[in-house]
């Protein structure tokens, strides 16, 4: 067993929305410089390797989480969805962070109807589906925004309805990628994990103390979540320290695993 670093995403210069790309303002890899696009391609490759391209298994469901807020989960989720779609895979992105939904903001679509309404039964799936189409290429994928913030997000992700939803969408997509809240703050990600084939843990460099990451990994291990690996985010290009955190953690935690 092991979890190592799957990709390193460099700190992006803040890009203002321009007239051509008002929606995504440099946050989606098609508008990133070469190094940003390559980083997400590397992540894609490593995800495909980690999951194995077993056609018989059909759709694969992936969760993206972190130990604490603002580490870059939503950024990684969106760009992994884009990268897989670029390969010609059919992809559905679910904004499973119903407490702080942000996918709709980055993608420039409405918040609701979305996942919270689908899971509470007040809206049907088709009405909440949105198609993201690249404005500069052929790439496209589907997404379901978070919906109005519900009172019981962790219960919704723990519900039969969520498992049923994953079953239904699994018959229509190659990959379903779920953006989830941070593990140390709330139980949502752990609850949602049982419907996934694997989880990616995003770590923002110089942001997440070691003991906080340890608590997160302990929680995921206790819940027997299949952690595919770490994504190091906000790395400083050329610092030479980029993989250190994940690697050290990996070495210490899993040496005897």
Ligand X SMILES: Nc1ncnc2c1ncn2[C@@H]1O[C@H](COP(=O)(O)OP(=O)(O)OP(=O)(O)O)[C@@H](O)[C@H]1O
Binding interface with ligand X (CB under 6 A): 9, 11-12, 27, 66, 69-75, 97, 100, 102, 182, 233-234
Q: Closer to Mg ion at the Cβ: 76 or 84?
A: 76
User: Out of ligand X, Mg ion, none, which partner does residue 65 contact, by CB within 5 to 8 A per kind?
Assistant: none
Q: Which of these ranges, 100-108, 139-147, 221-229, 237-245, lies near Mg ion under the rule CB under 5 A?
A: 100-108
User: Out of ligand X, Mg ion, none, which partner does residue 198 contact, by CB within 5 to 8 A per kind?
Assistant: none
User: Out of ligand X, Mg ion, none, which partner does residue 196 contact, by CB within 5 to 8 A per kind?
Assistant: none
CA distance 105 to 222: 34
Query: In the Cβ-directed half-sphere of 153, how many Cα atoms lie within 13 Å?
Result: 23
User: Out of Mg ion, ligand X, none, which partner does residue 75 contact, by CB within 5 to 8 A per kind?
Assistant: ligand X
Q: Closer to ligand X at the Cβ: 7 or 118?
A: 7
Q: How far is the CB of 81 from Mg ion (least distance, A)?
A: 13
Q: Closer to ligand X at the Cβ: 59 or 71?
A: 71
Residue of 10, 46, 65, 74 interacting with Mg ion (CB under 5 A): 74
Q: How far is the CB of 10 from ligand X (least distance, A)?
A: 6
C-beta separation of 183 from 212 below 8 A:
no
3-state secondary structure of 84: helix
* Token pair 């969106």 in the structure block, residue: 78
Q: Closer to Mg ion at the Cβ: 104 or 242?
A: 104
Q: How far is the CB of 27 from ligand X (least distance, A)?
A: 5
Q: How far is the CB of 235 from ligand X (least distance, A)?
A: 8
C-beta separation of 9 from 207 below 8 A:
no
Record the tokens describing residue 43, joined without a space: 């992540």
CB nearest Mg ion: which residue?
A: 74
- Using a 10 angstrom Cβ sphere, with 0-12 exposed, 13-18 middle and 19 or more buried, the burial of residue 151 is exposed
Q: Closer to ligand X at the Cβ: 59 or 228?
A: 228
Q: How far is the CB of 102 from Mg ion (least distance, A)?
A: 5
Q: Closer to Mg ion at the Cβ: 97 or 188?
A: 97
Provide the edge-to-edge strand list for the sheet that holds 130-133.
4-10, 227-235, 198-204, 60-66, 175-179, 91-95, 140-144, 130-133
- Using a 10 angstrom Cβ sphere, with 0-12 exposed, 13-18 middle and 19 or more buried, the burial of residue 97 is buried
Q: Closer to ligand X at the Cβ: 72 or 246?
A: 72
Residues 6+ apart with CB under 8 A from 26: 12, 13, 14, 15, 32
C-beta separation of 85 from 139 below 8 A:
yes
Residues of the shown chain interacting with Mg ion in the complex, contacts defined by CB under 5 A: 73-74, 97, 102
């Amino acid at each position: 067993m092991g979890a190592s670093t799957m990709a390193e995403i460099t700190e992006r210069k803040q890009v203002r929305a321009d007239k051509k790309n008002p929606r995504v303002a440099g946050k989606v890899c098609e508008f990133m410089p070469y190094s940003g696009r390559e980083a997400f391609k590397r992540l894609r490759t490593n995800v495909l390797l980690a999951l194995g391209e077993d056609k018989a298994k059909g759709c694969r469901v992936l969760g993206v989480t972190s130990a604490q807020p603002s580490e870059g989960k939503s950024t990684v989720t969106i760009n992994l969805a884009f990268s897989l779609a670029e390969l010609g895979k059919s992809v559905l992105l679910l904004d499973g962070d119903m407490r702080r939904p942000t996918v709709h903001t980055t993608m420039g679509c409405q918040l609701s109807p979305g996942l919270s309404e689908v899971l509470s039964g007040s809206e049907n799936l088709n009405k909440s589906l949105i198609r993201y189409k690249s404005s500069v290429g052929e790439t496209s994928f589907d997404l379901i925004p978070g919906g109005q913030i519900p009172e019981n997000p962790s219960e919704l992700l723990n519900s039969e309805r969520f498992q049923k939803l994953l079953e239904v969408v699994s018959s229509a997509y190659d990959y379903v990628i779920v953006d989830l809240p941070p593990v140390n703050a709330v139980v949502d990600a752990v609850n949602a994990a049982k419907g996934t084939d694997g989880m990616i843990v995003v770590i923002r460099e110089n942001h997440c103390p070691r003991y906080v990451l340890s608590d997160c990994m302990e929680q995921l291990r206790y819940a027997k979540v299949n952690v595919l690996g770490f994504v190091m985010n906000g790395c400083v290009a050329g610092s030479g320290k980029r993989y250190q955190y994940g690697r050290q953690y990996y070495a210490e935690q899993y040496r005897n695993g």
